[in-house]
Amino acid sequence: MEPILVTIDKNPAASSKDVLSGYLDRSWAFLAELQQSSEMEFVIGDSQGSYLWNIERTHRLLDCGNAGGVHSLGHRNPELLATLRTAFDRHDAGIWSMPTAESLALQDSLAAMAPSPGLCRCVTTLSSTDSIDLALMFAMRCTGRNKLVAYRHGYHGHGGLAALVTGSDYDGQIEHYSLSRSQTRFFDEYDRAASVTQLLDGDCAALILELMNFETFEPASPAFLQEIAADCRRKGILLIVDETRTGLGRSGLPWLTSHYALSPDIIILGKGLGGGLYPVSVLLTTQPIYDRCLNEGHWGFSSSMAGSPIASLVAAKVIEIIQRPDLTANVKSLETQLTQEFAALCDEFPAVFAPGSVLGAIATIGLRSRSVRDAIQPALFKRGVMCHSVSLIEPAVVKFFPCLTSEASVVTELADALRGFASELGRND
């Protein structure tokens, strides 16, 4: 049968159904099947602020997942669009081998915001996956070792060395692609230091982790981080903190690292760094590590399109915006409102909801039973709310990552959707 061709910029434009059946026929069928099996079919037409509309504009979704922070400053943020438009008027991707003022300025603004003063050098890449790949290579060069330690249920990317440190059955690709099974040791219990330190030895180049549990969004305890960081120092292992999701004001401070007395050797930023408009990620590290990897020897890292003036300008603007007092205050009030609304929901529906955790705009509410866990994501979707995800390990929680620019009405809308879901469950019991 002839495939139905999907057209853009022509009449009639492609419908959501055309796109989904096109995916089923001749593209990434898995994505379309995932949407269909969960009854969450949605092909994005327009997006603005906290909201998405489907192609037909018959459905609006409140985006409380925003791809893990890609759209943290809101979809199509007008200030970032203006920055990019101006950048496009003057620049292109540049020539990778030629230094630019914009790239140097980006490094200076990152160094000024860094959670510890030693972190003053940056490498710009196209994605966090690339930055993590590079960070792990840096660790191998600096230590002369090649074993890696990571959290079993963490996520750091699906390519290169990042794929080697992404180890869960659900997210990992090690088995799928027959990648090396011997290079990474995974610790299974987040927040229990002994689970990590028993894996750290003289073969180990790096420990990589997020400062919150990837699956449950629970922030690490200070004691856990203190103990594993001290053990890394003792054993000469580099500590790499992945702030791809948690950085850029998400936690109420510029970095989640800033909540702790912690000096990582390398920090990764990405996703929202490009304002959801342009691909850019950075690896931030110390001068000795940077010099050892990039300035000793030739071409320690290069990528034709990475570190362009355009990427540097948009990233520098994001860094400026997330440090503004009005944005910080907005995240604080979202945190307060989310805490209050979720506590009220737990009181109102004790058989459905349990306390979760809220830090800045990283929020969860606990789910009491398996049936609630299975039903909640599509049920919220039907009520016009897209959550981030539901945890695959205990404790069972539904996770939210609203835009940092969200108005108070967004939290009310989210709470109303949760309330509607719980009330309907009660009626059907």
Of 151-170, which residues contact ligand PLP (CB under 6 A)?
A: 155-157
Give CA–CA dist 34/173, Å, rounded: 18
Pairing of strands 266-269, 238-242: parallel
Handedness of CA 409, 411, 412, 417 (dihedral sign): positive
Among 16, 127, 330, 337, binds ligand PLP (CB under 6 A): 127
Angle at 70 between CA 82 and CA 346, to 5 degrees: 125
Using only C-alpha atoms, the chain has a radius of gyration, in whole angstroms, of 22
Residues with Cβ < 8 Å from 344, sequence gap 6 or more?
A: 415
Cβ-in-10-Å burial (0-12, 13-18, 19+) of 41 comes to middle
Binding mask 238-257 for ligand PLP (x = CB under 6 A): ----x-xx------------
SS3 (DSSP) at 47: strand
Question: What angle do the packed helices 78-90 and 309-322 form, to 10 degrees?
Answer: 150
Asked if 227 and 193 count as a contact pair (C-beta separation under 8 A), the reply is yes
SS3 (DSSP) at 31: helix
Q: Does 68 bind ligand PLP (CB under 6 A)?
A: yes
Return the range that interacts with ligand PLP (CB under 6 A); candidates 13-21, 126-134, 198-206, 292-300: 126-134
Asked if 256 and 128 count as a contact pair (C-beta separation under 8 A), the reply is no
Asked if 413 and 60 count as a contact pair (C-beta separation under 8 A), the reply is no
Q: Does 66 bind ligand PLP (CB under 6 A)?
A: no
Please identify, using beta-carbon distances, which residue of 204 and 256 lies nearer to ligand PLP: 256
Return the range that interacts with ligand PLP (CB under 6 A); candidates 123-131, 296-304, 324-332, 383-391: 123-131
Q: Does 308 bind ligand PLP (CB under 6 A)?
A: no
Pairing of strands 362-367, 397-400: antiparallel
Q: Does 259 bind ligand PLP (CB under 6 A)?
A: no
Among 50, 72, 124, 129, binds ligand PLP (CB under 6 A): 129
Among 16, 50, 107, 128, binds ligand PLP (CB under 6 A): 128
Return the range that interacts with ligand PLP (CB under 6 A); candidates 71-79, 133-141, 194-202, 237-245: 237-245
Of 266-305, which residues contact ligand PLP (CB under 6 A)?
A: 270-271
Q: How far is the CB of 164 from ligand PLP (least distance, A)?
A: 13
Q: How far is the CB of 306 from ligand PLP (least distance, A)?
A: 12
Residues with Cβ < 8 Å from 214, sequence gap 6 or more?
A: 151, 153, 154, 155
Q: How far is the CB of 210 from ligand PLP (least distance, A)?
A: 5
Buried/exposed code over 350-386 (b: 16+ C-beta within 10 A; e: otherwise):
eebbbebbbbbbbbbbbbeeeebbebbbebbbebbbb
Q: How far is the CB of 402 from ligand PLP (least distance, A)?
A: 16
| Alpha-carbon dihedral 293, 298, 304, 306, rounded to 10 degrees | 20
Q: Nearest Cα to 282, choosing from 123, 428, 401?
A: 123
Please identify, using beta-carbon distances, which residue of 160 and 300 lies nearer to ligand PLP: 160
Q: How far is the CB of 239 from ligand PLP (least distance, A)?
A: 15
Q: Does 71 bind ligand PLP (CB under 6 A)?
A: no
Please identify, using beta-carbon distances, which residue of 132 and 294 lies nearer to ligand PLP: 132
Please identify, using beta-carbon distances, which residue of 231 and 243 lies nearer to ligand PLP: 243
Binding mask 191-230 for ligand PLP (x = CB under 6 A): -------------------x--------------------
Give CA–CA dist 133/270, Å, rounded: 13
Please identify, using beta-carbon distances, which residue of 106 and 415 lies nearer to ligand PLP: 106
Please identify, using beta-carbon distances, which residue of 255 and 349 lies nearer to ligand PLP: 255
Please identify, using beta-carbon distances, which residue of 271 and 383 lies nearer to ligand PLP: 271
**Could you tell me the two tokens for 75?**
């979809």
Q: Does 184 bind ligand PLP (CB under 6 A)?
A: no
Residues contacting ligand PLP: total by CB under 6 A:
14
Please identify, using beta-carbon distances, which residue of 231 and 242 lies nearer to ligand PLP: 242
The contact set with ligand PLP (CB under 6 A) reads 68, 127-129, 132, 155-157, 210, 242, 244-245, 270-271
